[in-house]
Amino acid sequence: MSDSNSLKVIELFAGVGGFRKGLEQANSRLFDVVWGNQWEPSRKAQDAFNCYAGNFSSGEHSNQDIATVPNEFFQDVSPDLVVGGFPCQDYSVARTLSGEKGIQGKKGVLFWEIKRILENGNPKYVLLENVDRLLKSPSSQRGRDFAVMLATFRDLGYVVEWRVINAAEYGLAQRRRRVFIFAYKNGIPFDINQRELDKNEIIFKEGFFAKSFPVEVEPYKERISADFLPEDIIEISDEFSFNFHTAGIMRDGKIFTAHVAPMQKKPTVLRDILIDEELVEEKYYLTPAEEEKFKYLRGPKKIERTSADGHKYNFSEGGMSPTDDLDKPGRTMLTSEGSINRSTHIVEVNGKKRFLTPIECERLNGFPDNWTAGMSDRMRYFCMGNALVVDLIKIMGQRIEEIERASQPTDIQLNFSFS
C-alpha cells in the first residue's frame, strides 16, 4: 500500500522493469510502484513479464493487453506518476465517421492507451521514453507525430519538457540516444514555480532535464525554433510539420525548442563492464567461421541489388572496426545483440574475440548481474536490446524527489510567455 508521503506509480510497457529499478534506486520509499503492466502479444512465453514479476515482490503485476484494462481501474488507482517506454508508431488521427465523437487514432497505437490512462488516472507527473527519431517522424511530414503527442498533452492540461539524452555523454557505459518526455499538470506547485522562468532558463539551466543533465549555455550552431500548435489536432495531423530539436518545452500550446550541447562527463568504458575472463563460457568465443562472417559484415562493401520493380542499384556500406574499442563506451545495443549481425558487439580480450555475455549486456544498461537469468541467452540479449539505461531513470527520479520536496502550494498565478 502507498503511504501519504509516497508517490503512487504505475509502469506501462514495463519490459524487465528498467523504470521501476531506476526509481527504486533513486528513493524506494518515495516511489511506490503499485501496478506494472507487461504483455507481449506475439509471444506465447512471457519472458519479460516473468523477469519483472520475479525481481519485484510488491505491487500488482499485470500480464494482459493494456487495452483490456477498464477505465475504472485507473480511476481507482489514481496514480501520481505514470512511467513507460512505448513504441514509435504512426500517431496520425482522424475524425470519427459521424464527426460528433471528436477524433480517433489508429488502432493498436499504444500512445492512445497512455492518453486513456491519463484521462482516467489524472497523474500529476508523466515520464516516458522513446527512440529519438520520434522527433522527426514521419519522414514525409517531419515532426507531425511528436506534435500530435504534444497537442494531446496540451488538451489534457499538461506542460511537456523533452530531451534527447545519450547515456555515455553523462558518464555511463552505452552510447544509447533516447528521447525522454516529462509532463506535469498545469497548476501544480512545480508548474507555478517554472512559470517564473523564461524559456531559455528552463531549457539551459533550471528545467526538469537541465538541472540533472547540464548543457552549455548556448545552443549548438544557434539552432533554436519556436511555434504555436494549432488548436485543432486534426489540422496538426494533416498539415503541421516542425523541426523539433533535442530539447524543448510545450506550455499552453506554445513550443520552444533548441539543440543543446551536453556538458559531458567522462564515460564508463567497455573494459570496465567486462566480467572476469575466467568466468566466460566457451560458447561466447567466436569460432573461425564466425570470425570470417564478422570480418565480412563489419567490412566495407558494395553490392548490386535489384528492387521489387526490377530496378538495379548499388548498396554500399562503410567499414567499421573488426572489434569494439574497450576504451570507449559500448555502441547502442539492439535486440539482435549476440547474433551474427553487424550491430553485435565483438570484444577482443587476451587475443581472443567473443560476444558480450548476457551479464555484460545487463551492465551496459545498469541492471544488476543476472537480472534476466532464467530465460534463454537469445531472450536475455533481446530484453537488454529493448531496455533503457537504469541510471538515467535514477537521476530523473532524484529530480522528481527534489521537485516534490520543493513543492509548496501557492495561489500565485504567473503568465508564461515566449516573447
Max Cα–Cα distance, the chain, nearest Å: 71
Q: Which alpha helices (H) appear in 86-203, and where do they start and end? A: 111-121, 144-155, 189-194, 199-201
C-alpha cell at position 309: 520493380
DSSP-assigned states of every residue in 345-379: -EEEETTEEEEPPHHHHHHHTTPPTTTTBTB-HHH
Q: Is 251 helix (H, G, I), strand (E, B) or coil?
A: strand
How remote is the C-alpha of 190 from its chain's centroid? Answer: 23
Residue 361 known to be catalytic: no
Beta pairing, strands 254-258 & 352-355: unpaired
Q: Which residue has the cell 489508429?
A: 106
Quote the crossing angle between the two packed helices 47-55 and 377-386, to the nearest 10°: 80
**Closest by Cα among 408, 417, 402, 416 to 182:** 402
Closest to 145 measured CA to CA, from 126, 162, 158 = 162
CA distance linking residue 390 with residue 337, whole number of Å? 18
> Which of 51, 88, 361, 383 is an active site residue?
88
- Contact yes or no for 161/212 (Cβ under 8 A): no
SS3 123: coil
Q: Tabulate helix, strand, coil % of the chain (nearest 5).
A: 35, 25, 45
C-alpha–C-alpha distance, residues 237 and 285, integer Å: 50
**What is the residue-wise DSSP string for 270-311?**
HHHHPPPGGG--GGGBPPHHHHHHHHHHTS-EEEEEE-TTS-
- Measured torsion, CA atoms of residues 391, 393, 398, 400, in degrees rounded to the nearest 10: 170
Catalytic positions: 88
